[in-house]
Chains A and B, each alone.
Chain A
């Protein structure tokens, strides 16, 4: 059974810092890995999707990497801003579009 773990559960950093969120998964036979952002009352928003054949994806200040062999992904946020405060969820897909989610990392950026 695929299990996805995110560390840390919560993170608080000053504005402007670069930071890394971690995601690990137990079964390396994945189709893709996705990072979502969750804001209270607004559901989930997809940030980045990395196909199993890819090593990383970038969007603006965000960079996600994937190492299937070690079962790890990281989400790097550069020059953090208060608007980046949210919960970040990692999810892996293995067939039939069924996503298995991690518990999330609650990020707070302090002005």
Chain B
């Protein structure tokens, strides 16, 4: 089973709708991240969380909100979706302080979101 899972994998929605993307991990990592990827661009950081009580804005947080329900769960919400939020969204985790760990981030498979 995958260590980092994302649901849904694909979603088509309409402008103005509220939508939530969910991320779960079984790696036991404290740190979790949400990125978006647009064609021809690299991944850009939306929000990140270093633990359940620590949530921080990334490079492009406007129009998004997050919730860290537990160590293993980190959800991303679009309160009122707009077409330019059409993108591929990735969740990632890391554990830089664990035994034998590195700074590597572990990514989920992505959620392809289309806003019409």
Which A residues lie at the B interface, using CB under 8 A?
4, 9, 31-32, 34, 36, 41-46, 49, 89, 91, 93, 96-104
Contact = CB atoms under 8 A, between A and B. Distances in A.
A104 B94 CA distance: 22
A46 B105 contact: yes
* Interface size bracket, B side: 20 to 34
B103 A49 contact: yes
Contact of B94 (A36, A97, A100): A97
B82 to A, nearest CB: 23
Contacts of A102: 42
Interface in B58-106: 58, 90, 92, 94, 96, 102-106
A98 B105 contact: no
A97 B103 contact: yes
Nearest to B2: A43
Given A32-B103, A97-B48, A104-B42, 18 more contacts: A41-B109, A42-B109, A43-B90, A43-B108, A43-B109, A43-B110, A44-B90, A44-B92, A44-B107, A46-B106, A49-B102, A89-B43, A91-B42, A97-B94, A98-B58, A99-B43, A101-B42, A102-B42
